[in-house]
Amino acid sequence: MVPPVQHSVDSTHRLSLDPIATPERLLLGPGPSNAHPTVLQALSRSPIGHLDPLYIELMGEVQELLRYAWQTDNRLTIPMSGTGSAAMEATLANTVEPGDTVLVAVKGYFGLRLADMAGRYGARVVTIECPWGEAFSLNQIEEALASHKPTILAMVHAETSTGVCQPMEGIGDLCRQHDCLLLLDTVTSLGGVPLFLDDWKVDLAYSCSQKGLSCPPGLGPFTMGPRAEVKLAARSGKVPNWYLDVSLLNQYWGSDRVYHHTAPVNMNFGMREALRLLADEGLENAWARHRSNAERLWAGLERLGLELHVREDLRLPTLTTVRIPEGVDGKAFSRHLLDRHGIEVGGGLGALAGKVWRIGLMGYNSRPENVDLLLNLIETELPAFRSAAAAMAAVA
């Protein structure tokens, strides 16, 4: 007995569309970056079940290769089924309990985000700040740890909003001396910038798929070390976030294989291939490649008279912030690059909005021909975007 349909279908929202026809872009902004063709091919494989023995084998490969990329032995190393921001939230959701003091070292936009998130989990959030374009010294960190006595120090290794790479030597030791967990954002460093999580004594870290790993956005690598596991196990109640609850996720990713949620299997196909390619290249080679292409870009920009926002020893090889020259409409030029040449570069965020362009050379895109193409366009086409007054001043 089929129950009769008692309503009729309304076609107000029934768009009639042509097949998708997105263009090829060269993504030289803060991310997403272009994905490796092999990774894109993997995404289009026919899905298999999230409890299929072959998928479970693949999960193990992804975990192991993430450990390699991060240089960690952490058991709890998994890609969260969301973007990097979900993995960021997972580090806090699992470890923060109401009343914990979370110290956030803010040197750009993503530090502010960490502070916002930590507050939502009931933390007493304290921040230290440094100008957008600089990094913290060990002294600043030590003073803040001593005076605020936090449970967690959260900071950004590679600040995507400013292009600064935070030197990490010694910070982990300070955190242990002050009985504090060290939480690190490696969104714009994983795969492109030297990272030694265990040597640095990092307890919690997260990243994304769409930058140094040459995969599209959609997965958020996450890792938790033994000291953070102890804090999770000692929680008085459930993690206040079901989707990101590592104690549940561990039953799926661990040996029990208890169903939690239906994994994004195709994204994980892509991640597996992205990590395989990175392991094939070798971390030292990948890091050296990012460094050498970034140096080529920096030299070229300076040769064209442009000013880099970050001093060289703190510069990220994956993301360069370059100051928009006086009198140039930065947005108009980047819109021109996109519309005319299919090249994306980023604008500034937060305190740097309107002041810098952000140029990413990450993963598959970190190649000399991309650097030369962009430099050539800046040389030949930027002058038309200088205001008459600025052009006069430049000549004078």
- Cα–Cα distances in Å, from 112 out to 69, 152, 221? 26, 15, 20
Residue 243 has a CB neighbour count (10 Å cut-off) of: 16
With CB under 8 A as the contact rule, the residue among 61, 134, 142, 381 that binds a second copy is 61
Q: Are the beta carbons of 195 and 71 closer than 8 angstroms?
A: yes
Q: Which is nearer to a second copy, 188 or 325 (CB)?
A: 188
- CA dist 217 and 225 (Å) reads 25
Indicate whether 375 belongs to the interface with a second copy (CB under 8 A): no
Q: What is the DSSP string of 164-208?
A: EE---TTHHHHHHHTT-EEEEE-TTTTTTS---TTTTT--EEE--
With CB under 8 A as the contact rule, the residue among 234, 284, 380, 396 that binds a second copy is 284
Least CB distance to a second copy at residue 394 (A): 30
Binding-residue pattern over the window 164 to 203 for a second copy, x denoting contact by CB under 8 A: ---x-x------------------------x-x--x----
Phi, psi of 191 (to 5 degrees): 90, -20
Least CB distance to a second copy at residue 10 (A): 6
Indicate whether 159 belongs to the interface with a second copy (CB under 8 A): no
Least CB distance to a second copy at residue 127 (A): 16
Least CB distance to a second copy at residue 335 (A): 9
With CB under 8 A as the contact rule, the residue among 233, 234, 312, 380 that binds a second copy is 312
106: tokens are: 């803010």
Residue 382 has a CB neighbour count (10 Å cut-off) of: 18
Least CB distance to a second copy at residue 193 (A): 11
Stretch that binds a second copy, among 47-55, 177-185, 227-235, 319-327 (CB under 8 A): 47-55
Question: Between residue 88 and residue 147, which ones bind a second copy under the rule CB under 8 A?
Answer: 89, 113, 116-117, 119-121
Can you state the angle between helices 283-303 and 368-381, rounded to 10 degrees?
A: 10
Least CB distance to a second copy at residue 83 (A): 5
- CA dist 143 and 128 (Å) reads 10
- CA dist 245 and 369 (Å) reads 43
- CA dist 234 and 237 (Å) reads 9
Binding-residue pattern over the window 201 to 240 for a second copy, x denoting contact by CB under 8 A: -------x-x-----xxx-------------------xxx
How many chain residues interact with a second copy (CB under 8 A)? 105
Q: Which is nearer to a second copy, 10 or 256 (CB)?
A: 10
- CA dist 239 and 259 (Å) reads 18
Indicate whether 369 belongs to the interface with a second copy (CB under 8 A): no
Least CB distance to a second copy at residue 168 (A): 10
